[in-house]
Amino acid sequence: MIRNCKAPVSSSMIMNMRLHVSSAFKAKVAMSRFEPGTSISYEKLHENIDIVRKRLNRPLTLSEKIVYGHLDDPVGQDIARGRTYLRLRPDRVAMQDATAQMAMLQFISSGLPKVAVPSTIHCDHLIEAQIGGVEDLKRAKEVNQEVYNFLATAGAKYGVGFWKPGSGIIHQIILENYAYPGVLLIGTDSHTPNGGGLGSICIGVGGADAVDVMAGIPWELKCPNVIGVKLTGSLSGWTSPKDVILKVAGILTVKGGTGAIVEYHGPGVDSISCTGMATICNMGAEIGATTSVFPYNHRMKTYLNKTGRADIAALADEHKDDLIPDKGCKYDQVIEINLSELKPHINGPFTPDLAHPVSEIGAVAEKNGWPLEVKVGLIGSCTNSSYEDMGRAASLAKQALDKGLKCKAAFTVTPGSEQIRATIERDGFSKILRDVGGVVLANACGPCIGQWDRKDVKKGEKNTIVTSYNRNFTSRNDANPATHAFVTSPEIVTAMAIAGTLKFDPETDYLTAANGEKFKLEPPNGDELPARDFDPGQDTYQHPPAESGSVMVDVSPTSTRLQLLEPFDKWNGKDLEDLQVLIKVKGKCTTDHISAAGPWLKFRGHLDNISNNMLIGAINIENDAVNKIKNRLTGEYGGVPDVARHYKANGLSWVVVGDDNYGEGSSREHAALEPRHLGGRVILVKSFARIHETNLKKQGMLPLTFADPTDYDKIRPDDKISITGLATFAPGKPLKGVVKHGDGSQDIITLNHTFNENQVEWFHAGSALNRMKELQ
């Protein structure tokens, strides 16, 4: 039985800790935000590290220490970077509201009574930016009442903490409350690595992975390679922490970190604030990295102290040797960046790895025909919404105001948490940002994930926006494919919003004051942390009750927002014969292309309804169109989900064929659930992004890759493909694809996979959830 199978840990291994919040809250909620049993066991971490170091007989990187320190079986686990699968015991689970719906629906389906590890839900994705923070939050509570009620009651029923709408963005809340040096945390959002700024290993996953951990089952992760980024020199002037990851993204590209943890080290680390390190780790998701991490240092200690966790800082000091890399440790790849020479960067449009120095972007934009006018500047998001970020942006806004200027572009500000909102309001930053023309939005994701009711341009109108966000895929922010979105630091966003053009380089260019005087903006400045304690604002946390037997979790059978799950069918024991190619995708296909966010977020708890967005953003190689494919049964063209539904209704299973890094971007498992729900069996591509490949496996799909990437060119849009060799499906053993063309000819191709023995059982059972039930 799986029930209540949390691994026992002796009391001698654990130093129980009282985790505090800001001083204003200490008296009334000192333990309320942290579930019973929350503890930090540096002794256990050290014990496991010592076992593994002796076994491997070599120095360990920091990420290896934390990951291997959480092994379920440090004595017997096979450990080989990039090859073996590790079985781990994460300390905590965090879920944002858009993904928590499906995660909790799956947990309910498991039949388990309570979560086995501390877990939280964070309401940050469903709040649409429209007017301003107060009005938008009020409207969101009304529009999403059914979903919020489901998440609140499900949390109460199953022992999960619930951060109400308005609390803030999940990653900022984690940094302020739950992350600490040495913790292993998984979160159902791709930017969970934000916690690496506090010396944590925080990894983004799909909801089914979260269910495993909440069920007390060891969690599987392919043993990561380790990319070292050595930092020398120090940040100064206009250069910010964001420029580090913008530079790294340009070097490694959107798939260069796949299968690896990026570990920052070197003397330059100490010049970066804790929240600055979090910014760098956060956007590491854009290079496909499993996660990113910084070594424990005095900047982290200062942040822990300021956020009411001095006791954790004291323990981390005692165990510092386990929270930094061993001398002489080896990385699989090393990148060196001299922070003293690093220049401000701006990346885009349409992909986060297209890196440009700010000094060059104007000329590049002119050459490529990108709109020079900045229509909107947007600062905030989970990547850049710290006190320091807001202070530095406000310092620039104040200079403009002193010269009688306001922003030429529209300007929005998104605080990362209620604590940040309350503190920047108290300290005057919000007023300065509003006075320069800014609109302060709700403490939520907002435009960063497409929750933006944008009115200033029409769909299809070519325009430029500049953001301090992390991701800038086509249509992501405003559902307009003609919007050219660029990502940069909050400082550069603010400067460009004031100037109104991409051609403005604040290091060299002048502005014209209201009186006609020419002036240059002085480099931004801002305190790392508030001189006074943080103002925690409103208490927005709901702790699960000790006794939840009377709590009811209702899902109406007529709801359009929520739907209880039915188990997927088991494998029938036969090869997959004559799968119809549903669509052959051309070029980049992110999870935004596979399962769009924005207005579709409202259906994240209803699998059938959200499946109507499946692959509607993918480009069909047959006609270079989106959401227009040929139905091979009728001969007519239709939308991708409509054709898939027609195939399913007629008993025809199908396959998607794709290009490189398929499934790049968000962790959303809906991109895997939808194809399974609509009758898909195989996704066949050149290569996968890590999270999406795992999500597909969890739902009983077959994610396969061409052994020879040029075989992609052999597939025609009207082909049928049979997958053979499933009777002996096993780790490391390729499968065969029989590609049947319309003219009667065939191609036989070799198909690789990364399934291990447990994952093969997921396929046999029809899904990982089905397999979990079989083992109860």
Cis peptide before 530 (omega within 30 of 0): no
For the record, the structure tokens of 13 come out as 């291994």
pLDDT given at position 39: 52
Q: 550, exposed or middle or buried, with CB in 10 Å at 0-12, 13-18, 19+?
A: exposed
For the record, the structure tokens of 259 come out as 């299968």
Cα(211)–Cα(217) distance, integer angstroms: 9
pLDDT given at position 598: 84
Nearest 10 degrees: Cα torsion 235, 237, 243, 244: -10
CATH number for the region 345-510 comes to: 3.30.499.10
From the centroid of its chain, how far is CA 120? Answer: 16
Phi and psi, residue 294, nearest 5°: -115, 150
Cα(646)–Cα(654) distance, integer angstroms: 11
Beta carbons of 538 and 584 less than 8 angstroms apart: no
Phi and psi, residue 113, nearest 5°: -80, -30
pLDDT given at position 40: 66
pLDDT given at position 378: 98
Beta carbons of 181 and 278 less than 8 angstroms apart: no
Percentage helix, strand, coil for the chain under 3-state DSSP, each rounded to 5: 35, 20, 45
576-775 CATH fold: Aconitase; domain 4 (3.20.19)
Cα(404)–Cα(515) distance, integer angstroms: 8
Closest to 119 (Cα-Cα) out of 32, 185, 75, 175: 185
What angle do the packed helices 42-56 and 310-318 form, to 10 degrees?
30
576-775 and 49-338 share a CATH fold: no
Beta-strand relationship, 576-584 and 720-724: antiparallel
CATH number for the region 49-338 comes to: 3.30.499.10
pLDDT given at position 6: 30
Beta carbons of 128 and 453 less than 8 angstroms apart: yes
Cα(449)–Cα(191) distance, integer angstroms: 12
Beta carbons of 195 and 307 less than 8 angstroms apart: no
What residues are annotated to the active site?
Answer: 124-125, 189, 471, 666, 668
Beta carbons of 506 and 495 less than 8 angstroms apart: yes
From the centroid of its chain, how far is CA 110? Answer: 25
Q: 622, exposed or middle or buried, with CB in 10 Å at 0-12, 13-18, 19+?
A: middle
Beta carbons of 708 and 686 less than 8 angstroms apart: no
Beta carbons of 34 and 312 less than 8 angstroms apart: no
Cα(36)–Cα(54) distance, integer angstroms: 34
SS3 of residue 485 by DSSP? strand
From the centroid of its chain, how far is CA 169? Answer: 12
Query: Each residue of 214-253: pLDDT tens digit?
Result: 999 999 999 999 999 999 999 999 999 999 999 999 999 9
Cα(first)–Cα(last) distance of the chain, in Å?
4
For the record, the structure tokens of 349 come out as 């449009």
Scored b (16 or more CB within 10 A) or e, 392-424 reads bbbbbbbbbbebebebbbbbbbbbbbbbbbbbb
Any idea where the domains of the chain sit in the sequence?
A: 49-338, 345-510, 576-775
pLDDT given at position 3: 26
Q: Residue for token digits 């995708």?
A: 585
Q: Which residues of the chain are under the pLDDT cut of 50?
A: 1-38
437: left (phi over 0), alpha (psi -120 to 50) or beta: left
Residues 6+ apart with CB under 8 A from 606: 559, 560, 561, 562, 563
- Which one-letter amino acid corresponds to residue 573? G
Cα(71)–Cα(175) distance, integer angstroms: 24
Predicted TM-score (pTM) of this structure: 0.91
Cα(104)–Cα(102) distance, integer angstroms: 5
Beta carbons of 545 and 162 less than 8 angstroms apart: no
pLDDT given at position 8: 29
Of the CA atoms within 13 Å of residue 399, those in its CB half-sphere come to: 22
DSSP-derived letter for residue 131 is S
